[in-house]
Structure 1
Amino acid sequence: MTEYLQVSTAFTARQDAAYVARSATHSRLAAAAQVIGPVLSMRWQDGALVETEEWQLMLRTRVDRFDELTAYLVERHPEPNPEIVGVPIVPGTRSYLNWLDQRVTL
């Protein structure tokens, strides 16, 4: 199992995504964050296919910080059930992963 994750979620407002990116990084729950967008998203909601414009938030962290980062994101997300997923970072350059370790502190 990998020690590192790229965690993603999405916001309908750019300023919300930027705020959470800054605050999660400042809190050292993530070593880095990117706000990407706008992106066009499609999903099933209440029996209908819904199309929305969103801002993707990507964060890099360690596996041992995932639960705390998830709770942080859920608390600050305007949606009641936001999509939050972690994808293993395999492989990564040793220098980048060392940098990530130094910035994500417990």
Structure 2
Amino acid sequence: MADYLEVSTATETRDQAVALARSAVGERLAAGAQIIGPVTSAFWHAGAFGTGEEWKLVMTTSAERYPALEAHVLEHHPWENPQLSATPIVAGSEGCLRWISASTTPVPAQ
């Protein structure tokens, strides 16, 4: 697995995406998050074809923090089985990659 990942999911509303982004970044599971939308999605769900409006949430994290980020998203996402995928960041500016590492390093308890 790559050292750094871009992780995406989608929510039904902007507020849901903002809440998920704030909690993931606030807990240092993701370095940052962007919310894109609304976007139109076409999908199969429960055996039926559908379309709908969603808000895409894209987060950056380290490979080391991905399992905790995945668990967090699955626990706090409003959908029972959300789409969640991680794409390797195969190249990035040195400063950006350092920022991802620093931002996703847990702060020791005092």
- Identify the TM-score tier after normalising by the shorter chain: over 0.9
The answer to whether residue 57 in structure 2 is matched with residue 57 in structure 1 is yes
Deviations, residues 5-26 of structure 1 (Å, cap 9, x unaligned): 0000000011010011011101
Corresponding position of 1:86: 86
Indicate the percent of aligned positions where both proteins have the same amino acid: 44
Structure 1 stretches of 4+ with a deviation exceeding 4 A read none
TM, length-normalised to structure 2: 0.93
Gaps of 5+ in 2: none
- Residue correspondence of structure 1 range 25-104 to structure 2 within 5 A: 25-104=25-104
Q: CA RMSD in A?
A: 0.9
Gaps of 5+ in 1: none
Measured in 1, the distance between the counterparts of 2:50 and 2:59 equals: 25
Q: State the number of aligned residues.
A: 106
Corresponding position of 1:6: 6
The answer to whether residue 16 in structure 2 is matched with residue 16 in structure 1 is yes
